[in-house]
Amino acid sequence: MNVTEANSVVLRKLLIFTVIMFGFGFALVPFYEKICEVTGLNNLLQADTLAENTQVDTARWVTVELDANTRGLPWQFKPLQSSVRVHPGELTQVVYEVRNNSDREINGQAIPSYSPQLLGKHLKKLECFCFSKQVLKPREVRQMPVQFLIEPGLPTDINTVTISYTFFELGNDNTASLDINADQI
């Protein structure tokens, strides 16, 4: 085999390797989602299951502040109560209200955010409007519950926490991919 042929062989191998690595970059996406699912790192869109008998710690009060935002869509979004006081371990329900101020049907998806970050570990949500996309007809008003409890394991120096939701608009293109991703997350 002369040098030119030998070179072409190496070239071909390296090009194939490059293409594989390009694919590997994309393969990292399902891989990452799987890891998050297995380790439970990123289950924002899934309901938690409740342990059989949760102790209610009646000696402690935690103030839960509720926050609501919209981003780039003509909706009015607010909690019906700005904060609630709960005992750790106590199942609580709060209600958010959302109103479509426009004359078109809009798909929205709410993404939660917690403060302090640590709350994410100790907050169990049994029901939430953020688990699925919300479709609001023109001028529709909807009241949506969130059912949650804060585990007694929340460090005792934390007395006030914030649960915040932000609604993003989903275009029609995005809807399909949301469903796929929501299943995987």
The residue ranges that bind another protein (CB under 8 A) are: 2-3, 6-7, 10-11, 14-15, 17-19, 21-26, 28-29, 32-33, 36, 39, 41-42, 45, 71, 109, 111, 117, 168-171, 173-174, 177-178, 180-182, 185
| Minimum distance of another protein from residue 164's CB (angstroms) | 13
Decide whether 71 or 139 has the Cβ nearer to another protein: 71
Rank residues 19 and 95 by Cβ distance to another protein and give the closer one. Answer: 19
Q: Which two tokens stand for residue 87?
A: 């005992």
Shortest separation between residue 102's beta carbon and another protein, angstroms = 18
* C-alpha closest to that of 69 among 79, 58, 56: 79
Residue 52 or 171: which CB sits closer to another protein? 171
Smallest distance from the beta carbon of 85 to another protein, in angstroms? 28
| CB-based contacts of 99, cutoff 8 Å, min separation 6 | 75, 76, 77, 136, 139, 140, 141, 142
Q: Closer to another protein by CB, 17 or 61: give it.
A: 17
Instruction: State which residue, 11 or 47, has the beta carbon closest to another protein.
Output: 11
Cβ proximity to another protein, 58 vs 105, nearer residue: 105
- Whether 155 and 121 have beta carbons less than 8 Å apart is answered as no
CA distances from 65 to 22, 128, 160, 163 (A): 45, 16, 7, 6
Beta carbon of residue 58, minimum distance to another protein (angstroms, whole number):
31
CA gap 23, 108 in Å, rounded: 31
Strands 134-136 and 160-170, how do they pair?
unpaired
Give me the sign of the Cα torsion angle 31, 168, 127, 51: positive
Q: Which of the 8 DSSP states describes residue 89?
A: T
Closest distance of CB 168 from another protein, Å: 3
Closest separation between CB of residue 45 and another protein, Å? 7
